[in-house]
């Protein structure tokens, strides 16, 4: 991921320097486990533990010759070990995937914990915004067309619950991805005791794979990336709503617009929904990682490395982009400007057509057939669309022409937009308990 969209904390998790720190940690724990079992000399542990991680530059220099990243790392780290003889016991009984998959599991768990913290903050921001606007009337739209009265807080509540589910989905995926293996070549423990794997797993807070061949099966990592993609898509849903709401013809919502900010190089009047558009674009990046990672599940026999090149790109990009999306969406929601007056004006702009379904229900209760009622109400509605005469007036005319008597007082009662606020009370009761 490019620096523009990389926040420092997540960027460090996926830095080469941190990767080598994790590799050192895994290898040191393996040496400790061997020493506890008497497999390697006890005096090996402290020199290995004290050896500083090699620099990315030094590993890259060696890898240019060896064409093998793990061997390059081990060579560079051995150069930092005093006495150097202690390094001979590093990686004892292991194969490269033992180190790579175990360290990757630790890395992905670290990344997940950062994402979960930010998801918590976004859930809270959406919840609080929705509760603040539980009585802010607006028109609900289907297919982009005015449907029925609604409240803005109702729309945002849907986003809040969706993000909470996405967060909980990622919590479950944390378990799926926090799986390691130290089982040696082909995964048969031929040169390493399973107790070493258990020791390292416990110290790292990971779970040993139920079985590994030479790599950990990639279904867990695929689940994790899929969870990130769903979370990113919920962020996009929020942003898309803001983009629609900020259109000139709608003007119900506005992104935060800072002092000195410019909207267009050519048109000084512009205030564009740039945060929302960026969120929608970045969500595509996260979703785009699902298939490449999932295709790492089928490998040749006990192992090949067709998955590794993909994961070096896909996993950091998915995590870093999701991290940025959560940050940006929280900023968007926290600074969102809601024009309640404009929302009410838009609600009234179709001259009462938004009560057509309510009128249908009321007239059916008088004993008319649904077919006759629908024909009456639709005819009145079409006249309102064409003439902009108030719907109640065209409805009255159509009813008179068909010999239908309207209960005007009852229609006054059921065609109040505030009536819809009360019906949504249970939604906001549930929302208030969301954490």
DSSP 88: G
- Can you spell out the DSSP letters for 357-396? HHHHHHHHTTT--HHHHHHHHHHHHHHHHHH---HHHHHH
Q: Quote the radius of gyration of the chain (alpha carbons, Å).
A: 30
DSSP 2: -
Q: CA of 216: how far to CAs of 7, 221, 334, in Å?
A: 29, 9, 41
Write the CB contacts of 62 (distance below 8 Å, at least 6 apart in sequence).
Answer: 71, 72, 75, 76
Neighbours of 432 (CB within 10 A): 12
Enumerate the H helices of 288-369 as residue ranges: 290-294, 306-334, 340-348, 356-364
Task: Write down how long the chain is.
Answer: 435
Angle between helical axes of 96-132 and 306-334 (0-180°, round to 10): 20
Q: Output phi, psi for 253, to 5 deg.
A: -130, 150
- Beta-carbon contacts of residue 275 (< 8 Å; ≥ 6 apart): 239, 242, 255, 256, 328, 331, 332
The CA distances from residue 322 to 170, 188, 225, 253, in Å, are 12, 37, 10, 24
The secondary structure element, H or E, covering residue 423 is helix 418-423
Q: Which H or E element spans position 142? A: strand 137-142
Angle among Cα 406, 343, 147 to the nearest 5 degrees reads 45
DSSP-assigned letter for residue 300: S
d(CA 97, CA 197): 13
- Per-residue b or e along 21-47, where b marks 16 or more CB atoms closer than 10 Å to that residue's CB: bbbbbbbbbbbbbbbeeebbeeebbeb
Half-sphere exposure of 119 (CA within 13 A, CB side): 26
Catalytic residues: 143, 264
């Amino acid at each position: 991921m490019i620096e523009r969209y990389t926040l420092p904390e997540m960027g460090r998790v996926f830095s080469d320097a941190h990767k080598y720190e994790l590799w050192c940690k895994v290898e040191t724990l393996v040496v400790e486990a061997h020493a506890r079992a008497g497999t390697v000399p006890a005096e090996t542990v402290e020199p290995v533990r004290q050896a500083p991680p090699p620099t990315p530059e030094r590993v890259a220099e060696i890898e240019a010759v060896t064409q093998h990243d793990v061997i390059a790392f081990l060579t560079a780290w051995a150069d930092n070990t005093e006495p150097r003889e202690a390094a001979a016991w590093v990686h004892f009984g292991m194969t490269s995937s033992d180190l790579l998959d175990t360290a990757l599991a630790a890395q992905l768990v670290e990344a997940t914990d950062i994402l979960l913290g930010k998801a918590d903050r976004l859930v809270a921001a959406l919840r609080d915004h929705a509760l603040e606007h539980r009585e802010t009337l607006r028109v609900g739209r289907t297919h982009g067309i005015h449907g029925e009265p609604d409240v803005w807080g109702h729309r945002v509540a849907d986003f809040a619950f969706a993000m909470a589910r996405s967060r909980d989905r990622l919590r479950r995926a944390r378990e799926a991805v926090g799986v390691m293996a130290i089982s040696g070549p082909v995964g048969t423990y031929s040169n390493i005791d399973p107790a070493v794997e258990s020791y390292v797993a416990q110290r790292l807070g990971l779970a040993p794979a139920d079985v590994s061949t030479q790599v950990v099966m990639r279904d867990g990592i695929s689940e994790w990336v899929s969870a990130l993609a769903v979370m990113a898509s919920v962020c996009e849903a929020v942003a898309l709503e803001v983009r629609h709401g900020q259109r000139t013809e709608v003007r119900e919502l506005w992104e935060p617009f800072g002092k000195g900010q410019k909207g267009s190089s050519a048109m000084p009047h512009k205030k564009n929904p740039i945060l929302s558009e960026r969120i929608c674009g970045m969500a595509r990046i996260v979703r785009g990682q699902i298939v490449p990672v999932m295709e790492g599940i089928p490998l040749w026999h006990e192992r090949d490395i067709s998955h590794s090149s993909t994961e070096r790109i896909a996993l950091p990009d998915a995590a870093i982009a999701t991290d940025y999306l959560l940050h940006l969406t929280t900023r968007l929601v926290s600074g969102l400007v809601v024009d309640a007056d404009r929302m009410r004006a838009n609600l009234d702009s179709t001259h009462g057509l938004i009560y057509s379904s309510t009128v249908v229900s009321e007239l059916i209760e008088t004993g008319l057939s649904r077919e006759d009622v629908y024909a009456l109400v639709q005819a009145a509605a079409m006249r309102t669309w064409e003439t902009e005469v108030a719907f109640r007036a065209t409805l009255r005319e159509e009813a008179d022409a068909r010999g239908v008597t309207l209960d005007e007082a009852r229609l006054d009662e059921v065609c109040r937009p505030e009536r819809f606020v009360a019906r949504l009370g249970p939604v906001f009761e549930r929302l208030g308990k969301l954490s």
